Amino acid sequence: MEVWEWGSGDSSTLSHPHTSIPLYPLPYPHTPILPYPHTSPLSYLHTFILLRIDKITKRFPGVLANDQISLEIEAGEVHALLGQNGAGKTTLMNILYGLYQPDSGQIYFKDRKVKISSPRKAIELGIGMVHQHFMLIPDFTVAENILIGFKQRGPFLNLKRVEQAVAELSHRYRLQVDPTARVQHLSVGSRQRVEIIKALYRGAELLILDEPTSVLTPQETHELFQILRTLTAQGKSVIFITHKLNEVMQVCDRATVLRNGRKVGTVKIQQEGPEKEVIKENLARMMIGKEVSLETERTALKKKPVQFGKEVLKVEELEAVNDQNRLVLKKISFSVRAGEILGIAGVAGNGQSELVEVLAGLRKAVGGRVFLNGQEVLNEPPRKLLEGGIAHIPEDRLRMGLVLDLPLPENAILGSFHKAPFSFKIGNALPGPRWLNYTEIRKFTERLIISYDIKTPHPEATMRMLSGGNQQKFIVGRELTRSPKVLLTVQPTMGLDIKATEFVHQKFLEQRENQVAILLISTELDEILALSDRVAVLYEGQIVGLLPADQADREILGRWMSGL
Amino acid sequence: MKKPVEKNTEKNRKVQEWRRGRSFLFLYSPLLSFFLAILLAFLLSSLLISWIGASPLLAFKALILGAFGSLNGFTETLVKATPLMLTGLGLCVAFRSKVWNIGAEGQIHLGALATTLMGVYLPHFPSFISLTLTGLASFFAGGFWAAIPGWLKIRWGVNEIITTLMMNYIAILGINYAVHVPLKEPGGFLPQSALIQPSVELPILVERTRLHAGILLGIAGAGVLHILLARTTLGYQIQVVGLNPDAGRCSGIPVGKIILIAMVLSGGFAGLAGMGEIAGVHHRLLENFSPGYGYTAIVVALLADLKPLAVILVSILFAALIVGADTMQRVAGVPNSLVLIIESLIVLFVLGSRALSYVRHPLFFVKDNGQRTTEGKLRIS
Ligand SMILES: Nc1ncnc2c1ncn2[C@@H]1O[C@H](COP(=O)(O)OP(=O)(O)OP(=O)(O)O)[C@@H](O)[C@H]1O
Ligand SMILES: [Mg+2]
């Protein structure tokens, strides 16, 4: 292999302010984008191994999260990391980012053996990570967020310089972000761009993205892919974790599949051509581990005709404001009948979150009426609504759905701890505390874990120890077993693998057959079209269209969603 | 619900395995690391002692004998432990719900005031009734004093650290005023109230010592709180509100109400501590009857990892240091203030030993309240 200095080149313009890693090897801004490093035009023809990990093993009490995993990442590639929930993807990436130490195994970065003892070390090496759950401070501006945790020279913040550098970075990689904006006002997509810029600003050459698309709308996903292409064209490498094979086929060069902590194999992806479908099937098979065809799985989702009951949830002229006191729900009316799934499609940020929050009693509406089983319940407290039969699978599972520092049993009874059999009272008429019945609580938790196939080291593990997808499964399972009358769900399959997604969809249909009224809010049209009986589109706080599902198609919905 | 019929299915085996595994998860021993930390603190202080030219062995012997070596010393330790214990217990509740009640000192004063008022003005009842009424009065006086900042917090989001702290000054200075003017003993010269009537005095447990029944109240209180926090829905809700109020709200927990209850409980226990001081020790209200028990109790609660049963141990330890310090000064010529250094060292080492058991992951650092998540430890309560 040709010998050259990594990053040597025309770094005269600007160098990274705090490390020696050159930030702007390209004369900014009007040179055409060349493969990096452009000093050696031929070098990109050779594959250059940027990162090699060798037999990494990581054990947690009760689980072998990574078992002898070896992997190579080439310079300039997008490398997908696939695997079912709990397969060990996040753990492996946390090791690369210095958050965990491997029990054994080596890491080579640019052919040098390295020990990544902390995220700081990872950043110094040039490894950046965007977590499954963002780590930005909402009250800070973009530039301030980018500075956090950064070694400063001298006591004063040089925000101006950061802002300038951020502006240049965002231009260079086509990442549109305003460095002076406050993060709390940004959409999820832009927050993610901030995270990416943050990594790039610190000189990342390898960017780890943990399930970046699970929170994005299709449009934002598309933009992200553009960004990834720009990045790799300039020699950066990306590790991309996802559960969606279509995305892998769109942007990735290679894909590695993990199963139960072991590596199953690495596959070269052909983004075009006849072999595409074969590769896709193959990846799915590698992930799941049995001989299943995707097609048969798909058709297994069978919607039985259901006799709809009465209107269980009825919303009339509902109005609500968001946290910035802007009117985001403008006289919305709809109803959901027992046994019906009403899908609400729309680009995120058009009032979906606020709608569900109002219906779950978490946000006060400013006008309108809501009826639950014929009873007016507008602005009633959450407890009353839960008692009335509402179950809620929230959008932000970490914040609203779980207590990460409590064990699974305590999480399993959130929302039903005050009822039998989880708690009881000695002498019913007497005042006094309600006693928790841990035997029942544990039994319930164990049943939940088994019937929803939740992967956990132990039924009393702390919630934090579960993988992202398993946390989601836990919430879905918990809410569905409460035998609700109305189910409010936002992005219910966020972060779930293919199998789990199918499973949850199946469960939703079962609930529907049991005469539960389901309000399904999702940015994924596939999900909406597969499950719903009727589809509505929310655009700028209004329902701009409502159709029976058999008359809805992507084209009409797409038009409505973009406000045409 | 259907009973599982199959015996040896995969699932059943899994459950069996989990149940067996449970015991192994409790291996992690906070008690062991606690004692190690204390040992380290003493080792380091012995260096200090020898540095000032005294004998560490002699000094520690004096310290320990002073605190535990005689009936008088031992009971005196327990007398000092009582207010620390009661106040520390209350703080466990508030801190678990992540309400930073710094106002225990003021709440102690309110409890003391209530006890004095009852003791001076209550008509004569049998002691049992008087004490019960006084106990209730001081509990609710302290609880009321804590409820104000609690209410301000849930209603307007006022920072409770500031309000509880400020309310300390109101309470302390208010009582100083009270013993100078309205409550001053008729015909007396000192700034102190009249003696409370004997029926409101807490019984003395050991003849010719100051050890009063307050310590029993403390130990019983620890048991009650332990059960309350670990076994009831109220304790569960307090825990959830402390760890993730948003999730609590979503699942129907009335977060404001729980915070208020936690505050009232917390202030109530401090109020009982105030009652112990007046009805058990001084028998009248005086200026400065509390040498900052309310502040020391914060450290006690945190060192006890917000576990009520551990509060018993930690408060006795701290009381022993206070009592033993005098003897140490007399016998070994080591200045009293060295004990403060030892105290601080213990605090640092205990907190340090806990930090070491954290998983090294920014997400895992469960920051500032002494609660933690470790790989091995599961049950919070
Ligand atoms: N701190 C921890 N303590 C104990 N077990 C853990 C811990 N972190 C992860 N695990 C376990 O390790 C396994 C792998 O988890 P990991 O988060 O890597 O999965 P993942 O592949 O990212 O899954 P997902 O797609 O659901 O995000 C899981 O079984 C999880 O329960
Ligand atoms: Mg993950």
Euclidean distance between CA atoms A362 and B250, whole angstroms: 7
Euclidean distance between CA atoms A534 and A514, whole angstroms: 18
With beta carbons under 8 A apart, name residues in chain A contacting B246. Answer: 399-400
Distance from CA of A380 to the nearest CA of B (A): 11
With beta carbons under 8 A apart, name residues in chain A contacting B243. Answer: 403-406
Q: Give strand ranges (E) for A20-172.
A: 49-60, 63-74, 78-83, 104-109, 112-114, 127-130
Q: What local confidence, expressed as pLDDT, does residue B369 receive? A: 28
- Residue to mutate among A118, A386, A462, A482, with most B CBs inside 10 A, is A462
Residue B50 touches partner A, C-beta closer than 8 Å: no
Mutational test site, ligand 1, from A411, A463, A467, max ligand atoms within 8 Å of CB: A467
The residue whose CA is least distant from atom 25 of ligand 1 is: A85
- What's the gap in Å between A563 CA and the centre of ligand 1? 41
Q: How far is CA A200 from the centre of its chain?
A: 21
Q: What are the tokens at A419?
A: 């009822």
Distance from CA of B53 to the nearest CA of A (A): 43
Q: What are the tokens at A265?
A: 């194999």
- A434–B22 CB contact, under 8 Å: no
Closest alpha carbon within chain A to B242:
A403
A405 three-class SS: coil
Provide residues with CB under 6 Å of ligand 1: A 60, 63, 65, 83, 85-91, 455-457, 465-470; B 375
Query: What is the atom index within ligand 1 of the atom nearest the CA of A93?
Result: 18
Widest Cα–Cα separation across chain B: 85
Euclidean distance between CA atoms B8 and B24, whole angstroms: 23
Distance from CA of A100 to the nearest CA of B (A): 7
Euclidean distance between CA atoms B247 and B216, whole angstroms: 38
- What's the gap in Å between A467 CA and the centre of ligand 2? 5
Q: Beta-carbon neighbour count of residue B339 at 10 Å?
A: 22
Q: How far is CA A295 from the centre of its chain?
A: 25
Q: What local confidence, expressed as pLDDT, does residue A556 receive? A: 84
- A458–B239 CB contact, under 8 Å: no
Euclidean distance between CA atoms B275 and B200, whole angstroms: 10
Please tell me what DSSP assigns to residue A343.
Answer: E
Distance from CA of A116 to the nearest CA of B (A): 13
Euclidean distance between CA atoms B245 and A402, whole angstroms: 10
With beta carbons under 8 A apart, name residues in chain B contacting A414. Answer: 240, 247-248, 251
Distance from CA of A543 to the nearest CA of B (A): 25
Closest alpha carbon within chain A to B253:
A383
Residue ranges, chain A, pLDDT below 50 = 1-45, 296
Q: Residues with Cβ within 5 Å of ion ligand 2?
A: A 90, 467-468
Question: Which member of B240, B248, B361 has the closest CB to residue A100?
Answer: B361
Q: What is the pLDDT of residues A14-54, one digit of tens each?
A: 344 443 334 333 333 333 344 444 444 444 445 688 999 99
Question: How much is the pTM?
Answer: 0.83
- What's the gap in Å between A88 CA and the centre of ligand 1? 6
Annotate B161-182 with b (16+ C-beta within 10 A) or e (fewer). eebbbebbeebbeebeebbeee
Euclidean distance between CA atoms B49 and B328, whole angstroms: 11
Mutational test site, ligand 1, from A90, A100, A215, A498, max ligand atoms within 8 Å of CB: A90
- A382–B21 CB contact, under 8 Å: no
Q: What is the pLDDT of residues A305-323, one digit of tens each?
A: 888 888 899 999 999 988 7
Euclidean distance between CA atoms A410 and A423, whole angstroms: 12
- B247–A458 CB contact, under 8 Å: no
Euclidean distance between CA atoms B261 and B236, whole angstroms: 13
- CA distances for A66 relative to A103, A108, A437, A497, B75, angstroms: 9, 17, 36, 18, 57
Euclidean distance between CA atoms A399 and A410, whole angstroms: 16
Euclidean distance between CA atoms B252 and B249, whole angstroms: 5
Annotate A498-514 with b (16+ C-beta within 10 A) or e (fewer). bbbbbbbbebbbebbee
Can you give the pLDDT of all 381 residues of chain B as single tens digits?
444 444 456 666 666 655 554 434 333 456 677 777 888 888 888 888 888 888 888 888 888 898 998 999 999 999 999 999 999 999 999 999 999 999 999 999 999 999 999 999 888 888 899 999 999 999 999 999 999 999 999 999 899 999 999 999 999 999 999 998 888 888 888 888 888 998 889 999 988 889 999 999 999 999 999 999 999 999 999 999 999 999 999 999 999 999 999 999 999 999 999 999 999 999 999 988 999 999 999 999 988 889 999 999 999 999 998 898 888 888 888 887 888 888 888 888 887 776 655 433 333 333 322 333 333 332 222
Task: Indicate the pairing of strand A341-345 with strand A367-372.
Answer: unpaired
